[in-house]
A = this chain, B = another copy of it.
């Protein structure tokens, strides 16, 4: 499952597109690709990390153990880098990454990664931009989480699936009600009840894991107002 051909990879990140051929060869030498099935852990909170992960395809959840329960901090869709803050920092994963859909990921040795940051400012700049985007998104997400009530948070996440992940107003949820509750930061029972409410209001249609959004506008209002 090793892959020494980053130069011919069709799923290069925006950052990697800035690399020279010699740099791509360097990357290829210390880059291993792996496939993860839904539910499989890519890396685990508390474990040591010496790799940066480039998620080529798929969808993962980033989970973090809170004082009372596990929380899904966010979903990350490919293409994206995972574990940069951890691996550049104190090397101990501060959160876990678990595949939610079948995913393909490249493990890049941290020393190679650092070398590339050093020799190629354009590469480095792109990585930095991704970190910046993450920080701002995280602030937004946190404020909504704290200030909106559950109804609004659920609406927000249903919209994220529709607009950011599946680009369709109809999709199959890749999570069960328990995971959905962890994502929305509430209880499984409340998710059930509120999905029923949204159905009753004819804002969505639910059939097991299949969701169809009937009234995007009203869902957006709920998402914003709380």
Contacts and interface: CB of A to CB of B under 8 A. Distances in A.
Interface of A: 64, 66-69, 71, 73, 84-86, 88-89, 94-95, 114, 117-119, 121, 124-125, 127-129, 131-136, 138-148, 152, 185, 224-226
A47 to B, nearest CB: 15
Given A66-B147, A67-B144, A127-B128, 8 more contacts: A66-B144, A66-B146, A69-B147, A89-B133, A94-B140, A119-B121, A124-B124, A131-B135
8 contacts: A64-B139, A71-B147, A73-B139, A85-B135, A86-B136, A118-B125, A135-B135, A146-B185
Q: Closest 3 CB pairs between A and B?
A: A85-B132, A66-B147, A142-B142
A218 to B, nearest CB: 16
Nearest to A223: B67
A128 B185 contact: no
Identical chains bound together, number = 2
A1 B40 CA distance: 57
Contacts of A86: 132, 136
Contact of A138 (B129, B139, B146): B139
Given A88-B128, A88-B129, A142 B136 contact: no
A220 to B, nearest CB: 12
A143 B73 contact: yes
A152 B85 contact: no
A152 B68 CA distance: 12
Nearest to A132: B85
A138 B62 CA distance: 14
Given A144-B67, A146-B185, A89 B124 contact: no
